[in-house]
Amino acid sequence: MPRNRSIVLLSVGHACVDVYQGAVASLVPFFVAERAYTYAAASGIVLAASLLSSVAQPVFGALTDRRAVPWLLPVSTVLGGLGVALSGLSGSYPLTLLFVAVSGIGVAAYHPESARVARLAGRGSHSAMGWFSFGGNVGFAVAPLMVATVVATGGLRLTPLLVAPALVGSVLCLPVLRALEKTAAAGPGAAAVKGTDDKVSFVKLSLAVVCRSIVFVGLSTFISLYARQRTGGGTTAGTAALFVLYLGGAAGTVLGSRLANRWDRVTVVRMSYLITVGAVAGTIFVPGPSIYLFIALTSVGLYVPFSLQVTLAQDYLPSRVGTASGVTLGLTVSAGGLAGPLIGSIADAASLRTALAPLILMPALSWLLYRGMPEPATPNHLGGPTPATRLDDQSSEGLPYERRLARKINL
């Protein structure tokens, strides 16, 4: 299968999974309206999905470092959709938390393995990883529109209809996995670049992503409610704000991969975080419809680093690509989920603006963490075998993940 087609299928499949990450935050206003949840209770729903998902992702990443588990892609996609689909059927708060947690597990199982498959299918290309990440951002952007279309018309009882993208996504990944199986059977495969782990830079990168996640999760949880306050609009104004936040992320991901082809990734990420400081301040303090402009700038600024940080993490830990992917995409996001209830509690006690104001400091801290970080050696495009890792060896022991994946895929 041509590389571009594989990446397109993986990107669309990624959208079908990440639509459920966006759907949880998109459901918050409806939970508040139908069930009279407080800000703290509503943010607890987002925490249930993001915390379990984020903690589990490094576990799945470590698992995929040991053995290829391609069946996780279709299974986890369905699981992510099923949890969200069931979340609106019960008025019980504990059951709602349970269902969104199930969705979070599905998302957790999907990302480390899919990032590895995308690395293999894209042969290490930064642009390919950018387009793969772009699909996830589109899923986020579509989520508020999908939820509003379904739930606003018939209430939370219609959430089972939201399982449809999961069914589509689970089917789309199958041709890519079959193509990789055929590639393995044909002989030549993709070689991973070995190198020395830079654990210090990886830790600093992870802390920077923690700060980023606090901003993004905090805004995605409350921006629809905040935009309605600042503009005096109704549900449409809030949905539009969340849509802009997610759509800007899709644009930022593509822009980041393009900028990385001109400048090094560390420089692009550092400058993006610096610009984001002003954008977040504008989102919180500028009144009226202008808030949408600053939401868009904030989204682009937060997502320019997104795919670049995934490849940076993989290059800082070349011997443990799955773990690097799981931590970058998962564990660090839990900090944003943990901050959600705190933001909600402050909002209940004071105001949403007071609660959101500290978010301005987060991208500034990310910028500081990136100062002095080295640009790791750019990997080869994983397109050719190396003498040390021949596929015609009888044993898979010692082979890089991408070679083992190509050999072991068997649906």
Measure the CA–CA gap between 327 and 229, rounded to whole angstroms. 36
Strand stretches in 151-210, DSSP E:
none
Amino acid 145: pLDDT: 84
**Angle between helical axes of 126-154 and 93-121 (0-180°, round to 10):** 150
Q: Where are the domains of the chain?
A: 3-378+385-408
Amino acid 276: pLDDT: 94
Amino acid 411: pLDDT: 35
Q: In sequence order, what DSSP letters do the residues of 327-380 get, joined into one string?
A: IIIIITHHHHHHHHHHHHHHHHHS-HHHHHGGGGHHHHHHHHHHTTPPPPPPPP
CB atoms inside a 10 Å sphere around CB 374: 11
Provide CB contacts within 8 A for 109, sequence distance 6+.
56, 60, 72, 75, 76, 79
Measure the CA–CA gap between 278 and 364, rounded to whole angstroms. 10
Give kind and range of the element (H or E) at residue 212. helix 199-231
Amino acid 205: pLDDT: 92
The HSE-up count of residue 6 (CA atoms within 13 Å, CB side) is: 22
Q: Which long-range contacts (CB under 8 A, 24 or more apart) does 277-282 make?
A: 277/360, 277/363, 277/364, 277/367, 280/215, 280/219, 280/359, 280/360, 280/362, 280/363, 281/360
- Domain 3-378+385-408 matching CATH 1.10.3720.10: the answer reads no
Amino acid 144: pLDDT: 81
- Tell me if 96 sits within 8 A of 87, measured CB to CB: yes
Amino acid 124: pLDDT: 61
Name the stretches of the chain with pLDDT < 70: 1-3, 123-126, 180-195, 330-335, 337, 377-411
Tokens 């822009």 correspond to 255
Measure the CA–CA gap between 288 and 240, rounded to whole angstroms. 14
- Tell me if 47 sits within 8 A of 221, measured CB to CB: no
- Greatest alpha-carbon pair distance for the chain in Å reads 68
| Cα separations in angstroms, 104 against 61, 142, 231 | 15, 18, 32
Q: Which residues of 153-181 are buried (b: 16+ CB within 10 A; e: fewer)?
A: eeebebbbebbebbeebbebbeebbebbb
pTM of the model: 0.69
Measure the CA–CA gap between 46 and 220, rounded to whole angstroms. 10
